[in-house]
Amino acid sequence: MIEKLNRMPAVPALAGWAAGILLWYMGAEWWLAVLAAVIGMAVALWRQYAMMSLLYALSAGWTVACLSEPVPAPDAVLDGRELQYVATVRSVRNTPGALTVVADVDSVAEQACAPFGVQIASVPEWIPPRVGDMIRFTARLDAPELPGHYRHAPDYTLRYLADGVVATAYIDSEINVCGHHGGFGPYMAARRDAIVRLLARSGLSDEAYGLLAALITGYTEDLDPGVCEGFRAAGIAHALALSGFHVGVVVMLVSLLLWPLRAWPRLRPWRFAMGLVAVWAYAFMTGMPDSVMRAVVMLSIYSLGLMLGRGVNPYNTLSAAVLIILAVRPYSLFSAGFQLSVCAVLGILVFADKFNPVDPRRHRLHVAVAPIAVACAALVGTMPVTVAVFHRLPLLFLLSNLLVTLMLPLLMTGGMLLIVCMWTGVGSALLCRGLDLLVSWLDSSIGAIASLPGSAIHSIYLTPVQLMLLASAIIAAGIAVHLRRRIATAAAATVIALFCSSCLWGGEDVPQSDAFMVPVRGNTTIVARHGNKAVATLTCHERHGANARGNIERALEHYLAACGVDTLVVTAGDFTVGPYSRRGDIFRAGDVTVALLVHPGRPDSLAESPRYAIVGSRCRLSVDDIFRLIHPDTIVPGYDLSPRRRSELSASAMPCIDLCSY
C-alpha cells in the first residue's frame, strides 16, 4: 500500500487545485497565486516534485476559479424597475409547485448586453420552454438571496455561483418563446425529453413512470413524492440521483451488447472505444451531473490504461477524474452532490477491503459479502457530508442498500428494454405490468424498512469543530488500517476520542427565544420562537399563500429541528394567527413581543410596548392612535395595505419596516 501511495502524482495536484479554489472563494488576491507559482519554480530546483505540483496546481486552481466567475448583472437592472429581457434557456425544472428556469440574458430593453445568468421562477406551465429556447419576459430582477438570517438557514449562494446565476426574478405571467438556439447541448436535452415522453406513453403507472424516468435519465420532476420520501427515510435517497452506480449498470448493458466482439482479439480496442462512446453519450444525455462525470472520467482512464496495457492506480484515477471536473467546473467543489460522490468512492477504496471479513482466496464467498462491505465503506466515507447536509444518519442502511443493489439494475434494464420496445413498435404491455409490480414491491419494502424503529438517527446538528473532528477521525482511521503502525493507531484513537468527547460535552448553544425576518420579495416572513413553539407570519398575497407556506416550512425545517420546536403556527395572508400564539393581540417570544393589529377596533390586552406592530388591512387606527395605545418600537405595514395607508405609516416618526421593499 505504501508503494501505491508514493505513486500518485495526481493527489498533490488535486490538493493544490482545491486549495486554490478555496483561497479564491475566501477572497485571496492575485499575488498569492503568483507567489505560489514562484515558490513552485524554486522547489523544482530541489526536485521536490510533489510540492512543486501542489503549488503549481494551487496557482492554476485560483486562476481558473477567477476566470470562471459569472458575469455580473448591470447595475441598471437591479434598481427595482420592470424591464423587458431576452434570454437563452440553459436548464428547466417544471414541477407541480413552480417552474424554475435558468437562462442567459443577452438583451435588456431591446439593448444588447454581455450575457449574464438569471434564475426565473414562475407558475407551472403545461408546455414549459426547452433548453436552447430564446424567451422574452418582463420582470423586476433582484440580487440573489443572502444567507445568515437565522441558524441553519439554507444557503443558496454557492448554488447560484455554480449555476452562474447573478440575478433572480419571479413572473406571474407566461414566458414567451421567441426562437431557438441549436447545438450539441440542446440536442442531447431533446433526446432525454424524447425518452421521457416514450416512458410517459408506455402505459406504466404514474409511480413506475416517475421512478424509471429518474433512474434512467435523471428526470425527477414527475417523481412521486411518496416514493421520494420513502427513499429518503430509508437512507437511500442517493439512489434517485444519477451516479456511478447507474453508470455501472449502463456499462454492464453495453458490455453485454458488445460481447460477441470478444471473438476477434484485434477488435478489442474498438470494443473499448465503442463502449466509451456509448457511456459518454449517456452522460451527455443526462445533462452531465458531477457524479456521472466523475464516474465516466474514471472509466475512461481505466479503459485507456487497459488499451495501452498499463496498470491503473485507483487513487490516482479518482484524483485525476476530480481534477478534470474541477478544471471544467471549479465551483463543483462546493456542491453537496459532488462531495458525496467523491467521498463515497474514496471510502470504498480505503475501507471496503478491510470491512470484508472473508479471505479473498475464498473467491465466491468474498464476492458475495462484498456488497455489504461496500455499503458500510460508502457510509463511513460520506458520513461528514451526510451529517452536515441532511442532519441524519441511517442505521438500517444495509437492508435498504442491498435491496437497491438488487432491484435497481433490474428496473433500469427493464426500463431500457421498454424504451427500445416503444421505439420499435413492439408490444410491451406484459413488460409494463412486470415493471409496475416491481416498483410497487420496492416501494412497499422500502416503506417497511423506513417504518422500523431505530431506522435512522434524526436531528444531528454538529458544530463546525465537531464536523472537522469527525472528518479527521475518519481520515486517521483510514491511514491507521492501512499502515498498521502503533503511532498511526494511537493518533486515530486520540482523534476519535476527541470527537466522542465533543459530542458528549459540546453542542449548539440554542437561545431560549429569538425572532427574525426572512426577507423575500413579496413574502417577507416574520418568525418568532420561544422554547418549543414558533409562529411564522406570512406577508404574501392570498393567491400565493399555499406555495409560500410550503416554502417557509421547508426553509425552517432544520432551524425548527435544531431548536427542538414541536409546534409551528403559520399565519394566513391577512395575519390571522392560530389559537396558540394569541394572548389578545400580542404574541410573546421570550423578550420579543409582536402586536398583531388586524381588527377594525381598538386592540385588546396591549398594555405593554411591543417590539413589532404588524398592521393589517383591516386595522383602522391612525398612526397617532397606534403610538398612544401601544408604543411599539417598530411598525411593520402589511403586504395588502393601500399605497396611501403604507405612505402614512412610513412617514411616521416611528421606525418602519416596509415588507414590500424586500
Same domain for 552 and 640?
Answer: yes
- Domain extent at residue 444: 192-235+393-461
Lowest mean pLDDT among 157-166, 344-353, 392-401, 413-422: 392-401
Same domain for 624 and 544?
Answer: yes
For the chain, report the end-to-end CA distance as a whole number of angstroms.
58
Number of domains, the chain: 5
Decide if 508 contacts 461 (C-beta within 8 A).
yes
Quickly tell me which residue has 514562484 as its cell. 38
Distance between CA atoms of residues 13 and 56, nearest Å: 8
% of the chain residues with pLDDT over 90: 13
Lowest mean pLDDT among 410-414, 417-421, 463-467, 468-472: 463-467
pLDDT tier at 218 (50, 70, 90 boundaries)?
A: confident
Decide if 239 contacts 245 (C-beta within 8 A).
yes
For residue 170, the domain's CATH number is: 2.40.50
Asked if residue 607 belongs to a domain, the reply is yes
pLDDT tier at 640 (50, 70, 90 boundaries)?
A: low
Average pLDDT for the chain: 81
Asked if residue 348 belongs to a domain, the reply is no
Quickly list DSSP for 175-239. PEEEEE--SHHHHHHHHHHHHHHHHHTTT--HHHHHHHHHHHH---TT--HHHHHHHHHTT-GGG
- On the question of pLDDT at 513 being above 80, the answer is no
- On the question of pLDDT at 506 being above 70, the answer is no
Query: Any residues with CB less than 8 A from the CB of 239 and at least 6 apart, and which?
Result: 215, 231, 245, 404, 408
Interval 559-574 mean pLDDT: 75
Same domain for 163 and 200?
Answer: no
* More confident: 9 or 189: 189
pLDDT tier at 49 (50, 70, 90 boundaries)?
A: confident
Tell me, what's the pLDDT at 330? 93
- The CA-based diameter of the chain, rounded to the nearest angstrom, is 95
Provide Rg for the chain, Cα atoms.
28
| Last residue in a domain, options 156, 182, 208 | 182
Same domain for 472 and 579?
Answer: no
Query: Any residues with CB less than 8 A from the CB of 659 and at least 6 apart, and which?
Result: 524, 539, 636, 637, 638, 639
DSSP reduced 3-state for 642: coil
Query: Any residues with CB less than 8 A from the CB of 8 and at least 6 apart, and which?
Result: 313, 315, 316, 319
Render pLDDT for 278-307 as a digit per residue (tens, 0 to 9).
889 999 998 888 888 888 888 888 887 777
Asked if residue 267 belongs to a domain, the reply is no
Q: Which helix (H) or strand (E) holds 158?
A: helix 157-163
Same domain for 486 and 603?
Answer: no
Distance between CA atoms of residues 105 and 83, nearest Å: 12
* More confident: 574 or 205: 205
Tell me, what's the pLDDT at 577? 45
* More confident: 284 or 151: 284
- On the question of pLDDT at 558 being above 60, the answer is yes
Asked if residue 650 belongs to a domain, the reply is yes
Interval 372-385 mean pLDDT: 87
- On the question of pLDDT at 607 being above 80, the answer is no
Tell me, what's the pLDDT at 591? 62
Interval 418-447 mean pLDDT: 88
Structure pTM? Answer: 0.81
Asked if residue 273 belongs to a domain, the reply is no
Render pLDDT for 197-210 as a digit per residue (tens, 0 to 9).
999 888 888 889 99
Asked if residue 355 belongs to a domain, the reply is no
Tell me, what's the pLDDT at 373? 86
% of the chain residues with pLDDT over 70: 89
- Which pairs from 92-98 meet CB under 8 Å and 24+ separation? 92/128, 92/129, 92/130, 92/131, 93/221, 94/124, 94/125, 94/128, 94/221, 95/124, 95/221, 96/124, 97/124, 97/547, 97/550, 98/122, 98/123, 98/124, 98/547
Decide if 516 contacts 611 (C-beta within 8 A).
no
- On the question of pLDDT at 539 being above 80, the answer is no
Asked if residue 656 belongs to a domain, the reply is yes
Distance between CA atoms of residues 416 and 109, nearest Å: 46
pLDDT tier at 6 (50, 70, 90 boundaries)?
A: very low
pLDDT tier at 19 (50, 70, 90 boundaries)?
A: very high
Lowest mean pLDDT among 12-26, 313-327, 355-369, 519-533: 519-533
What are the CA-CA distances from residue 584 to residues 237, 513, 516, 612 (Å)? 45, 20, 22, 15
Tell me, what's the pLDDT at 578? 43
Q: Give the helix, strand, coil percentages of the chain, each rounded to 5.
A: 55, 15, 30
Tell me, what's the pLDDT at 60? 92
Same domain for 628 and 533?
Answer: yes
Same domain for 457 and 469?
Answer: no
Tell me, what's the pLDDT at 23? 93
Decide if 239 contacts 231 (C-beta within 8 A).
yes
Same domain for 553 and 625?
Answer: yes
Same domain for 652 and 544?
Answer: yes
Distance between CA atoms of residues 236 and 86, nearest Å: 41
Render pLDDT for 68-115 as a digit per residue (tens, 0 to 9).
999 888 878 887 788 889 999 999 988 777 788 999 999 888 888 889
Distance between CA atoms of residues 270 and 280, nearest Å: 15
* More confident: 143 or 378: 378
- On the question of pLDDT at 349 being above 60, the answer is yes
Tell me, what's the pLDDT at 85? 92
Asked if residue 497 belongs to a domain, the reply is yes
pLDDT tier at 5 (50, 70, 90 boundaries)?
A: very low
Same domain for 517 and 657?
Answer: yes
pLDDT tier at 148 (50, 70, 90 boundaries)?
A: low
Interval 51-74 mean pLDDT: 90
Interval 349-357 mean pLDDT: 87
- On the question of pLDDT at 444 being above 60, the answer is yes
Interval 625-631 mean pLDDT: 79
Q: Which three cell numbers stand for residue 404?
A: 437497491
| Last residue in a domain, options 20, 37, 67 | 67
Same domain for 111 and 84?
Answer: yes
pLDDT tier at 2 (50, 70, 90 boundaries)?
A: very low
- Antiparallel, parallel or unpaired: β 393-394 and 456-457: antiparallel
| Last residue in a domain, options 15, 47, 67 | 67
- On the question of pLDDT at 597 being above 60, the answer is yes
- On the question of pLDDT at 12 being above 60, the answer is yes
- On the question of pLDDT at 147 being above 80, the answer is no
Lowest mean pLDDT among 316-325, 441-450, 615-624: 615-624
Decide if 612 contacts 633 (C-beta within 8 A).
yes
Distance between CA atoms of residues 165 and 71, nearest Å: 9
Tell me, what's the pLDDT at 660? 60
Strand partners, 120: 101, 169
Tell me, what's the pLDDT at 579? 39
Same domain for 646 and 578?
Answer: yes
